[in-house]
Amino acid sequence: MKQNFVFLTFLLLGISTAVAQENIPDVHLTSDIVAARRTEIILPKVNGYTCYKADFHTHTMFSDADLTPKQRIREAWFDGLDIVCLSDHLEYRRQEQMLLNALAPYNADGKPHTYRPAKIEGATNTHTTRITCDYDAVFDEAKAFVERSLLPIMLVKGIEMSREPMNYGHFSALFVKDISAIYDPDIKQAMRNVRAQGGLVIHNHPAYRRTTTDKSKQQQEIYDEGLIDGVEIVNDLTFYPKMIRRAVEEDLIMLGASDIHRTTYEIYGSQGFYRTMTFILAKEFSEKAIREALEKRRTIAYSGNQLMGEERLLADFFNAAVDCRILGHEAKRGLTFYKLSNESSIVFRIAYNSAIYELKPFQTVTIGYKNDGTKGEEPTLTIENMWHIDYQHPNIKVQIDK
């Protein structure tokens, strides 16, 4: 009750300015609807676990994106997320160049500061061998904002490590403790530094600026050393089907992430679907429980009204989200009629007998299913907007709800 009260207080803060203006003579409000509204994404409980919505790959003005950390966190909350990570680029900060030009800060010798990206493999000697941005301070300020504003969102501490994409690629470090202690020109050593802090390493957008998602020689060495914990099977609106098999065979976490640099409204606002994210099936809303769920690989990626992951989890998610009831039987044609009611915010495209049934959120469809005449037979349906290993749609045996 107390938490609900304080969050309501946060929402009402947006009204205070309008109320103050209303008390000024000759001032009239054009609208009395001023409270901000969060998009609620309703997901089912699956096998006793709560589905939390997370985006572990976002950027702010402290690297190469447009929003401040506070704006990115607000955006995540109002987009319906429960968990967000501000994973700025560790080695380069494009926006810093603009800020240095605008603010014209000077050193003791009277000369202006210059932008210095970090030295990496193959870079010239003009690059610095250390990080000149205090990302730990950035996180601390973002964390303080979350606590100050009473937003019930989990902020995960992380960073993105970037290298030449054809041979190495980009990797996120999640759940780290000291960002300043991560950097090393050798990407493998940087990953070891992440591991030493108890962090997770995620292989981001594996086809970025490459012609294949197959591992390069350098990437194979990284994987062989056991430095990778997970892989993005979808980044923004780009799906990497082969990564599901890699994740299954190598016991990797499967993630979907927005990699957002602009505003999410620009990318997803008018498209008819939510931002790209990961559904995490966890015991409770705590960092320990979220970590446990990730390490046990209880995740489903969401992007563009598509769901990607392991077949068993997709089937369990569908059966938890959809209530199936028998309406009746038609013996002459050998049909059983089922009522499928979607109790979630997710669209399901059901394929059966050359027809597509689009089961929208909180709506119901009726399907005539041909069987052997056995009363109560559970139908098997193909879900066309779900994907598992080798670019396949799952054939799900639908549970009958009593």
Can you spell out the DSSP letters for 291-337?
HHHHHTT-EEEEETTEEES-HHHHHHHHHHHEEEEEEEEETTTTEEE
Position 23 scores a pLDDT of: 73
**Based on the domain organization, do 69 and 203 belong to the same domain?**
yes
Whether 5 and 47 map to the same domain: the answer is: no
Give one DSSP letter per residue of 182-201, joined into a string. Answer: T--SSHHHHHHHHHHTT-EE
Identify the CATH number of the domain in which residue 94 sits.
3.20.20.140
Condensed to tens digits (0 to 9), the pLDDT of residues 168-226 reads 999 999 999 999 999 999 999 999 999 999 999 999 999 999 999 999 999 999 999 99
Distances in Å between the alpha carbon of 90 and those of 114, 164, 172, 285?
A: 17, 14, 10, 28
pLDDT for position 34: 73
Residues 20 and 165 in one domain: no
Give pLDDT, residue 103.
Answer: 63
Tell me: do 99 and 185 sit in the same domain: yes
User: Rounded to whole angstroms, what are the CA distances from 227 to 250, 252, 366?
Assistant: 12, 11, 48
Query: Which long-range contacts (C-beta less than 8 Å, at least 24 apart) are formed by 324-331?
Result: 324/379, 324/398, 324/399, 324/400, 324/401, 325/400, 325/401, 326/375, 326/376, 326/400, 327/366, 329/373, 329/375, 330/368, 331/373
Q: Which domain holds residue 12?
A: 1-36
**pLDDT score at 93:** 79
For the chain, what is the domain count? 3
pLDDT at residue 30, as a whole number:
84
Cα 170 from chain centre: 16
Same domain, 47 and 31: no
| Cross-strand partners of 396 | 381
Task: Tell whether 314 is covered by a domain.
Answer: no
**Residue 74 domain flag:** yes
Residues of the chain with pLDDT under 70: 1-22, 100-108, 111-132, 372-376, 402
Q: Do 181 and 230 fall into the same domain?
A: yes
